[in-house]
Amino acid sequence: MKTYTLETAGADLVYDVRGPLPTADGRPPLLMIGQPMDATGFVALAKRLPDRTVATYDPRGLGRSTRKDGRTDHTPQVQADDVHAVIEALGAGPVELFASSGGAVTALEVVAKYPEDVTTLVAHEPPLITLTPDGPAAVRARAGVRDAYEKRGWGAGMAQFVAMTSWEGEFTDAYFAQPEADPAAFGMPTEDDGSRGDPLLSDLSWAISDYRPDAEALTAAPTRVVIAVGEESVTVQTGRTSVAIAELLGQQVVVFPSHHGGFLDGEFGYPGKPDEFAQRLREVLDGAS
């Protein structure tokens, strides 16, 4: 693996390349992106694709990529420009793109804005919460995570986030009637360390979950767009948002093994099924549905 730093006007973007450029197999490089996950989250998946040239990167302000624009918020539009710059820096033409969570939202903006950059996009569980029928309630639930974080710190915010993202079905009165989630019940710290800049728990990334994809641009692009959902996620929020964006594009979701982090091993807690996930990703990139 080789690590590079791409200096742009707004950020110094750090990215990693596993394998040769140009690629040895004649296929496009496979770029993997997340948000707020940085490149460390794709180590397990990249290891399971040793025959592919795989590139990963840290979005600006996350991991090793430092910001120079004076901002602390995260938007798909800015991140799409960064991904475009990384693709150009790779110098190997258009890429295949696996994108997860907020990275999948960024990837949709990349394809809409830079349609020649990507041959195939596999967008895994983009959390586009305003697209679901209960969008206003989902926005209210998201605000509850921010409020818990602001009032009681990281552990409380993360516990509320887990409660929200594991809720099955629409956010009904029953959801909002629950007491605030107890961090101790989730094995999370109860003390408040005073920090309030977490991109997942604060409102700094709301532009990502508020994003409205340009369906016309996406369907007109030469890119093959696949919306992926974990088999364990179908009834929870990110599964329902995946179905919503697929329907907006006139598609059906493609089912992958495991859950929202199905490509992770045990390093980050709740492990997925990275072996099965990598095999499914291979099949989909090769044209399977």
- With cut-offs at 50, 70 and 90, classify the pLDDT of residue 269: confident
8-state DSSP, 228:
E
Strand (E) or helix (H) holding 201: none
pLDDT band at 77 (very low <50, low <70, confident <90, very high): very high
Q: At how many degrees (to 10) do helices 76-90 and 102-113 cross?
A: 70
User: What 3-state DSSP class applies to 18?
Assistant: strand
Per-residue pLDDT band for 282 (boundaries 50, 70, 90) equals: very high
Query: In the predicted model, what is the mean pLDDT of residues 234-253?
Result: 98
Residue type, 202: S
User: Left (φ > 0), alpha (ψ -120 to 50) or beta: where does 63 sit?
Assistant: left
So what's the pLDDT on residue 289? 75
Q: What is the pLDDT of residue 20?
A: 97
What integer is the mean pLDDT of 204-231?
A: 98
According to the model, what pLDDT value does residue 270 have?
83
| Two tokens, residue 90 | 């790779």
Question: Cis before residue 36, ω within 30 degrees of 0?
Answer: yes
DSSP state of 118: E
pLDDT digits (tens, 9 = 90+) for 32-66: 999 999 999 999 999 999 999 999 999 999 999 99
Q: How far is CA 60 from CA 29, 68, 107, 115, 127, in A?
A: 21, 9, 15, 22, 19
- Extended beta strands in the chain, E state: 2-7, 11-18, 30-33, 54-57, 66-67, 95-100, 118-124, 224-230, 254-256
pLDDT value, residue 211: 98
Q: What is the mean pLDDT of the chain?
A: 97
Place of tokens 């950020």: 11
Query: What is the structure's pLDDT at 76?
Result: 98
**pLDDT (mean) for 145-149:** 98
Amino acid 16: pLDDT: 98
Note the pLDDT of residue 27. 95
Residue 239 has pLDDT above 90, yes or no: yes
Instruction: Find the helix packing angle between 135-152 and 154-165, rounded to 10°.
Output: 160
The mean pLDDT of 68-92, rounded to a whole number, is: 97
CA distances from 69 to 44, 78, 85, 87, 239 (A): 32, 11, 16, 21, 34
Whether residue 275 is predicted with pLDDT greater than 80 in this model: the reply is yes
pLDDT in tens, 169-190: 999 999 999 999 999 999 999 9
For 287, left (φ over 0), alpha (ψ -120 to 50), or beta? left
